[in-house]
Amino acid sequence: MEDMEPLKACRICKNTSLIKYLDLGKTPLANAIVKKDDIDKEEKTFPLEVMYCPQCHLSQLSVIVNPKIMFSNYPYRSSISKTFIEHCKEIAEIFKKSFDFKENNLVIDIASNDGCMLQQFKEMNFKVLGIDPATNLADIANNNGIETINKFWSIPIAQDILNTKGHAKIITATNVFAHVNDLNEFVEGVKTVLDKDGIFMIEAPHALQMIKHTEFDTIYHEHLSYLLINPLKHLFTEHEMRIFRVDETPIHGGTIRVFVCHNNAEHTKEASVDKIIEQEKNETLYNIEGYNEFSKRVEKTKKDLLELLDEIKKEGKKVAAYGASAKGNTLLNYFNIKSDNIEFIADDTPEKQNHFAPGSHIPILESSAIERENPDYLMLLAWNFAKELIRKTSDFEEKGGKYIVPVPEVKVVTSKDYE
């Protein structure tokens, strides 16, 4: 693939009549952190437009950026957030307690990042294996004793694992399914190596929450699809697999945890599957109207935030941000916010520190900069971890600092709002 190719038809149902409902302009890739030496070089930008499929209701980007460009070296580290580590522990506990899995059963985590999820399974004595295309992350995981194959998930990889380690009882894929162009290959790979009564579990941001709470910043080039249960049901049916349970969890602004098995596996279908499909229907997500309303709300967020930043600037006050998240870069670039409005972004990820945010070129600094630079406001670009970030910056608040959250609507908040 060249750097980018256009989407020709719906990724799931192959419908070619897709309807565009949001255009966030041409932006650089959300995790393409800029090094100091490259600051004067022109950044590559790609169109960021979302299309709706009226047939299966999948939202998807109009272009596919070459995954090798986005994922071969990846600055996002899952285990930076304590909230996410706790979340992974909860998942491992579900598998241990709700299903009849034994110690030593093989667990595969696809897009295993720095091994954050598998660490939890390992502590419960499961056999674990990670797969991740990012060399920097696979190295971290391997060095920490989590065996990780440094490749993209594919049918040949699944076949290799089957030959060398046998079937997997559990396959997890958190925050990767929305990133995959060829979902048929991905699912066939899973089917190849999943035990006959094994469970494949996906977690991905739920498009229902994204639309309902105006989480437009979930949209960036890595996220090719914005998932609902209805299109997923369609996809798995094609592969003789079925969804038997769906949980909703608040992580990342509202995520669906989807449990999938082979058609003839013993897992009984739970009421949650049809309940969530019903909710999706009731939120008018099976009709373009709901999406057009969402796009209008995005414009309101833009207007409100730019007005607020303007007012703060007129008062001579300083704003910094916390969380150089991918979503934050969508917001900064679409709203055209630069360092004259936000002086720096604090982030605890070593891979991001002392570099610059893509597009906006706002400096990314370690979080001790908050105390040193003493801003009046901190905009939480990782608003999905607001509670954790506010807890970490209690000194800033004690000195009179205030927080801005941009989603679901622009608001100035304090720790009291998150008690």
Residues forming the site for ligand JHZ (CB under 6 A):
76, 80-81, 175, 205, 222, 252, 323-327, 347-349, 352, 382, 384-385, 388-389, 392
Q: Specify the residue, 136 or 349, whose C-beta has the smaller distance to ligand JHZ.
A: 349
- Contacts (Cβ under 8 Å, ≥6 apart) of 46: 3, 4, 26, 27, 28, 29, 63, 65, 221
As a whole number of angstroms, the distance between CA 17 and CA 19 comes to 7
- Contacts (Cβ under 8 Å, ≥6 apart) of 151: 131, 133, 157
For residues 243 and 266, is the Cβ–Cβ distance under 8 A? no
As a whole number of angstroms, the distance between CA 148 and CA 140 comes to 9
**Nearest distance from C-beta of residue 218 to ligand JHZ, angstroms:** 7
Chain center to CA of 380:
17
**Nearest distance from C-beta of residue 230 to ligand JHZ, angstroms:** 21
**Nearest distance from C-beta of residue 76 to ligand JHZ, angstroms:** 5
Q: Which two tokens stand for residue 218?
A: 């979930």
**Nearest distance from C-beta of residue 357 to ligand JHZ, angstroms:** 10
CB atoms within 10 A of CB 131: 25
**Nearest distance from C-beta of residue 71 to ligand JHZ, angstroms:** 9
Q: Specify the residue, 80 or 187, whose C-beta has the smaller distance to ligand JHZ.
A: 80
As a whole number of angstroms, the distance between CA 325 and CA 162 comes to 36
**Nearest distance from C-beta of residue 81 to ligand JHZ, angstroms:** 4
- At 170, the amino acid letter reads I
Q: Specify the residue, 254 or 290, whose C-beta has the smaller distance to ligand JHZ.
A: 254
Half-sphere exposure for 373 (CA within 13 Å, toward CB): 22
- Contacts (Cβ under 8 Å, ≥6 apart) of 368: none
Q: Specify the residue, 172 or 325, whose C-beta has the smaller distance to ligand JHZ.
A: 325
**Nearest distance from C-beta of residue 13 to ligand JHZ, angstroms:** 23
For residues 383 and 405, is the Cβ–Cβ distance under 8 A? yes
Q: Specify the residue, 169 or 221, whose C-beta has the smaller distance to ligand JHZ.
A: 221
Q: Specify the residue, 74 or 200, whose C-beta has the smaller distance to ligand JHZ.
A: 74
Q: Specify the residue, 86 or 311, whose C-beta has the smaller distance to ligand JHZ.
A: 86
325 closest CA partner among 278, 377, 368, 382: 382
Query: Phi and psi at residue 106, in whole multiples of 5°?
Result: -80, 130
**Nearest distance from C-beta of residue 132 to ligand JHZ, angstroms:** 11
Q: Specify the residue, 343 or 348, whose C-beta has the smaller distance to ligand JHZ.
A: 348
**Nearest distance from C-beta of residue 111 to ligand JHZ, angstroms:** 8
Judged by phi (left if over 0) then psi (alpha if -120 to 50, else beta), residue 175 lies in left
Q: Specify the residue, 101 or 335, whose C-beta has the smaller distance to ligand JHZ.
A: 335
